[in-house]
Structure 1
């Protein structure tokens, strides 16, 4: 390899940590793909200069080649695209999944859905939300993200009911699974895995994708969406363009003329 071992280990450490945060299975053929590497370079190391990010991408591609062999001519699609938004019937199934949980897990399941579908939070962010981070006023419910991509996110009204129950609390208890003193690795995915999975459990990446796509379809101003999502650039939204609802030709022409 044309790279020093210490440099590869440094990149690998950042890459592995990002994969764990995004609940990706740490297997060579799962994380060492072109799509995952591209997502990491784009979203996981935003503070670095373009040259440094390009070098990281080249190092990870080289590791992928050594670990997995040359990329096949036509890579098969993954069984479940982690970026694919949920369909309406899938969301209904997830509501049923939450309702079917045992009493002591049901509240957590419903809150995970509310924070994922209602505010587009990542798994790591959901795990860190405290009761005092949820507020409500005449406009609706807002969730404060106090670490990482610090921001306040207005919650979609259709998902706000569960959060209204704790809004205004001054408690610093964790919202999901209160009583704990820290957030272990893979916290949300472990909660889902321990629950009843007769209808399948939620994937936080897909819930966030669903939230983003909803706002893109309804015409939420892009600058407002970037601020609420914690994204730095419009480039991060391009992966969802293929899922956008088609626009009526007459409507689109009228809009373009205005």
Structure 2
């Protein structure tokens, strides 16, 4: 299973000599997994030329730029644009791509991609009307859990993916967020070896600085149990991302299909939804904080507005128990 959004092949038909820098080699040898060979062939030379004009200083930077450029330029082609630098790297084209061409990206990732493309546009164009500043894509941060209807829709979309790999990626991602409440970075590291049975339920032993044991919320335990059975020893996501990859979620979901109206997947919202479920079920906050790996009440404060009001008599009964 691929660990990044590229594979090495001589598809650009360039003669790569020993005089090439490591960054240039990375550009010339890059092939995106997110595109079919015929799609890549149609834009490869143009994309490589743009990437080399950006003068990447390091192979990692080169790969990041090629990933961003290949997806953006392919999208521009699907919109009927010719391979013209001034037309493709026009502010309106970039804004159109960010608004509708990468719905699988979280707002923060779209903001990063927009910043890259705007920087690229300023470097490679001479007449495109780049404005000096834009409205920030990401507004004040807020923890907003998914509604029950949104969760149901996400699970439905995950189950309807066309390939086994796509289903594995999306269902496991939802299970780790909605079923275990993992921090975003934790989802990439856990493996089937971290699953265990304890007190009659499936649990996940989370490694790292916030090591803890998390009971898996049904029905997501069935998803993780099936992965444990069918692919022992693997990462639960079925995907290994490079340490330096800044677009892990984008690369993981790059081939997934999201029908119109599908909620955008944001890992912090999956975790917030898990939190809220347990708060609604009156799990003691002290114990919930231990299982969640937090030491402050900040998240609880964000989510209190989403808790239902209890009948007054029930509240009074709880508060007068001995």
Q: Matches of residues 181-200 of structure 1 in structure 2 within 5 Å?
A: 182-183=242-243, 184-198=245-259, 199-200=262-263
Matched, 1:97 2:157: yes
- The answer as to 2:311 corresponding to 1:253 is no
Aligned match for 1:219, one of 272, 282, 288: 282
Offset of residue 202 of structure 1: 2.2
Partner of 2:169: 108
Contact 1:135-1:141 at 8 Å conserved across structures: yes
Secondary structure of the 2:271 match is helix
Q: Secondary structure at the match of 2:175?
A: helix
Give the distance between the partners of 1:217 and 1:146, measured in 2 at CA: 27
Verify the 8 A CA contact 2:213 2:291 in the aligned structure 1: yes
Q: Which moved more, 1:109-118 or 1:184-193?
A: 184-193
Corresponding residue for 2:94? none
How many residues get paired?
Answer: 193
Q: Give the TM-score normalised by structure 1.
A: 0.65
1:151-162 matches, cutoff 5 A:
151-162=212-223
Helix, strand or coil at the partner of 2:277: helix
Given candidates 223, 228, 232, the residue that maps to 2:291 is: 228
- 1:19-34 alignment runs, 5 A limit: 24-25=108-109, 27=111
The 3-state SS of whatever aligns with 1:114 is helix
Please state how far the C-alpha of 1:217 moved relative to its aligned partner.
1.1
User: Can you give the 5+ residue segments of structure 2 that lack an aligned partner in the other structure?
Assistant: 1-105, 115-132
d(CA) in 1 for partners of 2:241, 2:320:
56
SS at match of 2:196: strand
Name segments (4+ residues, structure 1) moved above 6 Å. none
What is the CA distance between 1:109 and its match in structure 2?
Answer: 0.8
Q: Aligned to 1:160, what secondary structure does the other structure show?
A: helix
Q: Distance in 1 between matches of 2:221 and 2:270?
A: 15
Cα deviation for residue 23 of structure 1 reads 7.6
Counterpart CA distance in 2 for 1:93 and 1:151 is 30
TM-score, length of structure 2 as denominator length: 0.53
- Report the CA distance shift for 1:189/1:230 in structure 2 as closer, same or farther (over 3 A): farther
CA distance in 1, matches of 2:143, 2:297: 16
In the alignment, is the contact (CA less than 8 A) between 1:130 and 1:175 conserved in 2?
yes
Q: CA deviation at 1:110?
A: 0.7
Number of the residue aligned with 2:272:
209
Deviation for aligned residue 1:194? 3.4
Shift of 1:124: 1.1
Which runs of 5 or more residues in structure 1 are unaligned?
1-21, 31-66, 70-76
CA-to-partner distance for each residue in 1:117-169, whole Å, 9 max, x for gaps?
Answer: 00001221111111211123562111121123221111112221011124479
Seen in structure 2, the aligned counterparts of structure 1 residues 153 and 160 have a Cα distance that, compared at 3 Å, is: same
Deviations 1:96-124 (A, max 9, x none): 11012121211111111111100001221
Q: Tell me which structure has the larger Cα radius of gyration.
A: 2
Partner of 2:188: 127
Confirm or deny: 8 A CA contact 2:191 2:234 kept in the other structure. Answer: yes
1:88 to 138, 148, 157: 148
Corresponding residue SS for 2:170: helix
Q: Secondary structure of 1:143's partner?
A: strand
CA distance in 1, matches of 2:290, 2:173: 21
Q: Report the CA distance shift for 1:151/1:89 in structure 2 as closer, same or farther (over 3 A).
A: same
More helix per residue: 1
